[in-house]
């Protein structure tokens, strides 16, 4: 008897439900403070993918009844100018969340820029204060993509306690914070990376496999335990044959057509983790507003 094909996890549908679930809290905040949560988005330079992400983030913020203020800066903007804008936004009581879209141009040190954001407004959850809180089990703002992965997993599997998760990738924005989130759910966690030996021996024991590598379709079916739940964070642009037209398609880090034959659940790319990242940004903006303004909301 052949293996059953994986159920495809619909990240878009879950994301729109997550956004809907924020509406009562947004309404409550408007009642209590006389205005909706406000997110400032800073975009430096012309990176095409960043422009698409920012457009989506702004649209969805507005759809959820919140305010989104875009600061579009040229690629030549100095670090000093950017830091001075962040300082203004930090001090502006009408701004609840600040997001600096990464990557930044090479002459700007992204890490030091992020550390100047007021941790209470750090809706990306990248500030060391928030990273430290996550690592030590305290309440703070949690990075959006890992949080999106966790919510997708809980919505798909339910209780994650006792399961073995393997995360491929150890970045500060995905792999490491996701490991912390899963540990807090009593999952056993292994992180593998580019220096790991015998990687498929480890990944093929995982009940949950999360790919955050940035290498198109690197994860083949021999990496997967039969019946595993596979979450693909990767976003890779593949040029199509008509190169001169500038057309491309987006694929994940997982070879979807192979792996869906072996896994029990799998996220597609696009339409899996990506939409949840934006939902978690909206979620964080609501949480940041409520905390700073002392409003008791339903969301925990």
Question: Which stretches of the chain bind ligand NDP, using CB under 6 A?
Answer: 145, 168-171, 173-175, 192-195, 199, 212-215, 218, 233-236, 273-274, 277
Catalytic residue list contains 57: yes
CB 151 to ligand NDP: min, Å: 13
State the Cα–Cα distance between residues 40 and 53, nearest whole angstrom: 14
How many separate helices (H) and strands (E) can be counted in the chain?
Answer: 10, 11
The catalytically annotated residue of 101, 122, 225, 260 is 101
**Helix then strand then coil, % of the chain, to nearest 5:** 45, 15, 40
Short-list 191, 190, 188, 187, CA closest to 169: 191
Residue placing its CB nearer to ligand NDP in the complex, 36 or 146? 146
CA distance linking residue 59 with residue 39, whole number of Å: 12
CB of 170 to ligand NDP, least distance (A): 4
Residue among 37 and 252 whose Cβ is closer to ligand NDP: 252
Report the nearest approach of ligand NDP to the CB of residue 194 (Å).
3
124 is catalytic: yes
Q: Which is nearer to ligand NDP, 236 or 258 (CB)?
A: 236
Residues recorded for the chain: 300
User: Tokens in use for 286?
Assistant: 């609501």
Work out how close the CB of 156 gets to ligand NDP at its nearest, in angstroms, rounded to a whole number: 16
Spatial distance between the Cα atoms of 42 and 71, rounded to a whole number of angstroms = 5
Catalytic residue among 96, 124, 253, 255: 124
- Which residue has its beta carbon closest to ligand NDP? 171
**Residue with Cβ nearer ligand NDP (56 or 81):** 56
Nearer to ligand NDP, 119 or 234 (CB): 234
Q: Would you state the structure tokens that stand for residue 185, as one six-digit string? A: 């759910």
Q: In this structure, are residues 68 and 61 in contact, taking their beta carbons and an 8 Å threshold? A: yes
| Tokens read off for 287 | 């949480």
What CA–CA distance (Å, rounded) separates 1 from 128? 51
Minimum Å gap between C-beta 155 and ligand NDP is: 16
Secondary structure (3-state) at 29: helix
Catalytic residues: 57, 101, 124
């Amino acid at each position: 008897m052949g293996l059953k094909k994986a159920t495809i996890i619909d990240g878009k549908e879950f994301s729109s439900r997550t956004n809907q679930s924020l509406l009562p809290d947004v309404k409550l905040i408007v009642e209590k403070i006389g205005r909706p949560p406000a997110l400032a988005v800073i975009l430096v330079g012309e990176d095409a993918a960043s422009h698409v992400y920012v457009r989506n983030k702004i649209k969805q913020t507005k759809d959820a009844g919140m305010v989104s203020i875009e600061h579009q800066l040229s690629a030549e903007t100095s670090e000093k100018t950017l830091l001075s804008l962040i300082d203004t936004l930090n001090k502006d009581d009408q701004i609840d969340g600040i997001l600096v879209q990464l990557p930044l141009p090479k002459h700007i040190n992204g890490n030091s820029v992020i550390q100047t954001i007021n941790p209470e407004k750090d809706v990306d959850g990248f500030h060391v204060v928030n990273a430290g809180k996550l690592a030590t089990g305290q309440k703070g703002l949690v990075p959006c993509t890992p949080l999106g992965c966790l919510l997708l997993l809980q919505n798909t599997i339910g209780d994650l306690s006792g399961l073995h998760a393997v995360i491929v990738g150890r970045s500060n924005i995905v792999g490491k914070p996701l490991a912390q989130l899963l540990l807090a759910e009593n999952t056993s966690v292994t992180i593998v990376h580019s220096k790991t030996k015998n990687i498929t021996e480890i990944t093929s024991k995982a009940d949950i496999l999360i790919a955050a590598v940035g290498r198109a379709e690197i994860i083949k079916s021999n990496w997967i335990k039969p019946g595993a739940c596979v979450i693909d964070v990767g976003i890779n642009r593949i040029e199509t044959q008509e190169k001169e037209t500038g057309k491309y398609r987006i694929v994940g880090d997982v070879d979807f057509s192979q792996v869906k034959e072996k896994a029990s659940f799998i996220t597609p790319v696009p339409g899996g983790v990506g939409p949840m990242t934006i939902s978690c940004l909206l979620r964080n903006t609501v949480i940041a507003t409520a905390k700073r303004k002392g409003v008791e909301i339903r969301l925990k």
